[in-house]
Structure 1
């Protein structure tokens, strides 16, 4: 039997993987600044000033410290 709910979830786009810089830490919540200037809150492990990968409010790991190019579409 088909799972209609699973079929519906498959229609949604996957959560994007974003890169940002940790600005501050408050308990277990990290404030991350994205290259376009956006700010988000995330959970995980990092230090202030570290570049990290963030997906769906969770820090997935350290990102390489490479130059970022923002292209407006």
Structure 2
């Protein structure tokens, strides 16, 4: 018998990996400021001011601190 839940989850798009800067941490939940100005909350180990990778509400690791540049094509 097929696993209907797995088939349903396979229909959903994968969660994107995002990068943001930790604004503050309270009780193991970090508030992360996104480059576009939005904020989200995620679980995981992080410190204020640290850039992190976030996916689906979980901090996956530290992101490099690179300068943002924009170019037109």
TM-score, normalized by length of structure 1? Answer: 0.85
CA 43–13 in structure 1, closer or farther in 2 if over 3 Å, else same: same
Which stretch shifts more, 5-14 or 15-24? 5-14
Runs of 4 or more, structure 1, over 6 Å off, are none
Question: What secondary structure sits across from 1:64 in the alignment?
Answer: coil
Which whole-Å CA distance do the structure 1 matches of 2:63 and 2:27 have between them? Answer: 22
Equivalent in the alignment of 2:10: 10
Q: In structure 1, list runs of 5 or more residues that go unmatched.
A: none
Question: What secondary structure sits across from 1:9 in the alignment?
Answer: helix
> How many equivalent residue pairs?
71
Paired residues for 1:46-61 under 5 Å: 46-61=46-61
TM-score, normalized by length of structure 2? Answer: 0.85
**Could you say what the CA RMSD is over the residues aligned between the two structures, in angstroms?**
1.7
Which whole-Å CA distance do the structure 1 matches of 2:70 and 2:36 have between them? Answer: 7
Q: In structure 2, list runs of 5 or more residues that go unmatched.
A: none
